[in-house]
Copies of this chain bind each other. A is one copy, B any other.
Amino acid sequence: MRIPELFRKLARGPQIITLKDAGMIAAFTGLTSGDMVVDAGAGSGFLSIFLANQVKPEGKVFSYELREDFSKIAARNVKKAGFEKYVEVKNRDIFKGIDEKDVDVITLDMPEPWHAIDHVCSALKKGGYLVSYLPTVEQMRKFVLLCIEKGLKHEQSIECIVREMAVKETGTRPETKGLMHTAYLSFFRK
Contact = CB atoms under 8 A, between A and B. Distances in A.
Interface residues of A, number: 64
Contacts of A165: 137, 140, 156-159, 184
B157 A164 contact: yes
A20 B27 contact: yes
A50 interface: yes
A17 to B, nearest CB: 10
A144 B137 CA distance: 15
A20 B28 CA distance: 8
Contact of A33 (B33, B158, B179): B33
A170 to B, nearest CB: 7
Interface string A148-160: 0000001111111
A80 interface: no
A82 B30 CA distance: 15
Given A163-B180, A165-B157, A54 B57 contact: no
A95 to B, nearest CB: 20
Contact of A162 (B34, B145, B160): B160
Given A2-B30, A135-B173, A156-B164, 13 more contacts: A20-B27, A20-B160, A23-B25, A23-B28, A136-B173, A159-B163, A159-B165, A159-B174, A160-B160, A161-B163, A174-B181, A176-B180, A176-B181
13 contacts: A3-B27, A3-B32, A4-B27, A20-B24, A23-B27, A23-B28, A31-B54, A33-B33, A33-B54, A54-B54, A157-B164, A158-B162, A175-B180
